[in-house]
Structure 1
Amino acid sequence: MLRDQTLLRIPGPTPVPPSVQRAMSQPMIGHRDQETKDLLKTITPKLKPIFGTEQDILILSASGTAGLEAAVVNAVQPDDDVLVIVTGAFGDRFVKICNEYRISVHRYDVAWGEAVSPDAIASYLSEHPEIKAVFATYCETSTGVLNPIEELARVVRQQTDTLFIVDGVSCVGGVQTKMDEWGIDILVTGSQKAMMLPAGLTFAAVSERAWHVIERNERPSFYLDFKRYRDSLANNSSPFTPALSLLLGLEQTLSMLEEEGLEQVYQRHQTMKEMTRAAFKALNIPLLTADEVSSPTVTAIKPDDFEAEKLRGVLKNEFGLSAAGGQQHLKGQIFRIGHMGYCSPIDVLQTISIIETALHRIGKSIVLGAGTRAAQEVLLKGGN
């Protein structure tokens, strides 16, 4: 392993393209100068197709979690009843945020590694008409599950006037998202995942229905007040000093996504998912999630005859490859491979080959090359 050679294969932060690094290293500009206004004027329309909305996208200089908290504090008042669908660690994070704001939380738990059933949520909502907002996670990063957000949105819209608020942090930009068509009211993502940037920006799109609720919300807020960002954005500005270097990088990532074409971006992520899953199946190593609910952006693997942490250690120390571990009760039981953003099928082939070598190092009996071959066959079949 070369000293400065690192391979980042975790589900965020993800690798940053060289052209984006160059864009971020441009000389600093004044955050109230015309250059920044022009930059925001260029950026904001290009974000809309990624979210699948005609609404303006609010940009906060903060982490993805701040975006989730902003969704809560803007759309829900103290003592309101909300339903939080928990399919993993980040659904649980929504619960913790709501609890901090003294919101009455109805928690709906789903076994980690499984997706939520829209029919089950339909039944729950029919029994609890007092619920004012439903919170869900599109891609549950901790398990690699992609929840059926389109179907969940339909259930919420058909049965109630409840707001539907979605954490899209680890998949927006890597999977098809149609906020307006599906009926999502608030959709949040972060910069360090499929958007191919360092951490530090969070993006939020808000429906007209949600704006009506937000306008009537008397809960005080300052930095996280969506209305401030909306009003400033109308003048191609921001209410507070933005992370200018990240905005310069964002301009470049949006150009890259536009050049590739969003459908091709989504297909690339789907191909990488299928390559990764085929590889581990060929190696007879169990996956945490079923194919039909698996995310195109991250894959969780649950070995049954070797230690996940031992493999991660060899990958990191001998090959410079970072894979993610499990969270909460899955800590030490799984490892996760991120394949999103600035990542291609070539990167997946390299990753699988390294993992096979590391498996051999820790004494796992495999046929070297079996996983790589399975991934190659997927790639050749898909032609991506």
Structure 2
Amino acid sequence: MDDKLMLMIPGPTPVPEKVLLAMAKHPIGHRSGEFSQIIAETNANLKWLFQTENPVLALTASGTGTIEAAIINFLSAGDRVLVGNNGKFGERWAKIAKAYGLDMQQITAEWGEPIAPDAFGEVLAADSEKKIKAVILTHSETSTGVLNDLEAINKLVKQHGEALMIVDAVTSLGSYNIPVDEWGIDVIGSGSQKGFMLPPGLGFVAVSDKAWAAYEKATLPKFYLDLGTYRKAAAKDSTPFTPPVNLYFGMKVALEMMKEEGLESIFARHQRHKEATRAGMKALGLPLFAPDSNASPAVTSVVPDGIDAEKIRSVMKKRFNIAVAGGQDHMKGKMFRIGHLGFVSDRDILCAVSALEATLQELGHSTPESGVAAVSKRLQQG
């Protein structure tokens, strides 16, 4: 049956019908007064979502574009930086830092494990000359389903005094409580196709006063991703370059939906879905890749023993029209990832785990318990 695909991947995520309908309108002039009103409203609601009083700058870019912007706007060639790397995206930020000539040191952990805050703390404490200019961390490592301890690592960065805290919150912003101003996070980026319930195409960056002071001294080359130009334009309810007008139509509606649900309810829903999904996997006898203590609210990574993960994905797609994500790099074929991020309901979790249970039966894999029963029990707890 056509048009029944169910996205249970960590991005792109499902888009509400109201958002899709808003995006189906005719474009308007991006320099018109009408569009300026939309920018003003969405900018205010982005500040609400990011829990900050500073402007949240919208870029026509993916999450990778926002983190590249976060790196190049506040640093200079030769600056010393620490990059957390325990998955595909931490690895990507290390590559960007190297590409721009930064003196980059990686703080690592194995895929599937969180980075120990003390690993950052030791290096930061030893930096008596304050040469470390930034710490770059992936909060929710999408490739593994691990949630790094941003709050603890950020406190260590604040104790250092000089270094900026630069955060990839691409899959955690909108699914996990990150009080940006309260924690004093300097630069934080995310993308529209994750917790924002939008298609890909917009990236968001919030910047602290401390980071803006660093911007004035930074010398890395930039033009399209020069956040200073976005800051000036945002102050006038405008954009420096042509934005994706219809995505703004959708963003206006999506942010209104999020405000109606409320931050606490959004975070509680993602926590409930994380715990329900993990309970379902345990009941089905499927090993989880990330530990319970550091599991992402956005994505659950599963390493099935004795079954090719790609076969599971294939059957779920062909038989049930449900898409789950595969493993990346050396985990391809060994892992599948269930996204439960953004516009996802209790029904979606039940449906996905039920289809997975049927898939395992079709592949001749016996399960010790009912995954659906385990999910239902957790969801009933609220």
Deviation at 1:333, TM superposition (A): 1.1
Aligned residue in 2 for 1:376: 376
Aligned residue in 2 for 1:315: 316
Question: 2:175–2:341: 8 Å Cα contact kept in structure 1?
Answer: yes
Aligned residue in 2 for 1:74: 73
Instruction: Give a deviation string over 1:109-134, Cα, whole Å, max 9, x none.
Output: 11111111112211121234421110
Structure-2 separation of matches of 1:280 and 1:346: 16
Task: Look up the equivalent residue of 1:133 and give its one-letter code.
Answer: A
The equivalences for 1:69-108 within 5 A come to 69-108=68-107
Aligned residue in 2 for 1:233: 234
The equivalences for 1:123-134 within 5 A come to 123-128=122-127, 129-134=130-135
TM-score by length of 2: 0.98
Deviation at 1:182, TM superposition (A): 1.0
TM-score by length of 1: 0.97
Structure-2 separation of matches of 1:26 and 1:175: 32
Question: 2:100–2:220: 8 Å Cα contact kept in structure 1?
Answer: no
Instruction: Give a deviation string over 1:135-168, Cα, whole Å, max 9, x none.
Output: 0011000010111111111010012310010000
Structure-2 separation of matches of 1:253 and 1:3: 26
Instruction: Give a deviation string over 1:66-93, Cα, whole Å, max 9, x none.
Output: 1111111101111111100001100001
Deviation at 1:304, TM superposition (A): 1.4
The equivalences for 1:1-384 within 5 A come to 2-128=1-127, 129-366=130-367, 370-382=370-382
- Of residues 356-365 and 111-120 in structure 1, the stretch that sits farther from structure 2 once superposed is 111-120
Question: 2:84–2:137: 8 Å Cα contact kept in structure 1?
Answer: yes
Question: 1:272–1:339: 8 Å Cα contact kept in structure 2?
Answer: yes
Deviation at 1:319, TM superposition (A): 1.4
Structure-1 separation of matches of 2:114 and 2:101: 27
Structure-1 separation of matches of 2:120 and 2:218: 26
Deviation at 1:3, TM superposition (A): 2.5
Question: 1:197–1:250: 8 Å Cα contact kept in structure 2?
Answer: yes
Structure-1 separation of matches of 2:220 and 2:121: 29
Question: 1:50–1:177: 8 Å Cα contact kept in structure 2?
Answer: no
Structure-1 separation of matches of 2:187 and 2:308: 39
Task: Look up the equivalent residue of 2:323 and give its one-letter code.
Answer: S
Task: Look up the equivalent residue of 1:246 and give its one-letter code.
Answer: L
Question: 2:107–2:119: 8 Å Cα contact kept in structure 1?
Answer: no
Deviation at 1:302, TM superposition (A): 0.8
Misfit runs of 4+, over 3 Å: none
Q: Partner of 1:187: helix, strand, or coil?
A: strand
Structure-1 separation of matches of 2:47 and 2:147: 22
Deviation at 1:220, TM superposition (A): 3.0
Instruction: Give a deviation string over 1:210-230, Cα, whole Å, max 9, x none.
Output: 000001213331100000000
Structure-2 separation of matches of 1:302 and 1:18: 33
Percent identity for Structure 1 against Structure 2: 44
Paired residue total: 380
Please list every run of 5 or more consecutive structure 2 residues that lacks an aligned counterpart in the other structure: none
Task: Look up the equivalent residue of 1:352 and give its one-letter code.
Answer: V
Structure-2 separation of matches of 1:215 and 1:294: 38
- Of residues 49-58 and 350-359 in structure 1, the stretch that sits farther from structure 2 once superposed is 49-58
Task: Look up the equivalent residue of 1:142 and give its one-letter code.
Answer: S
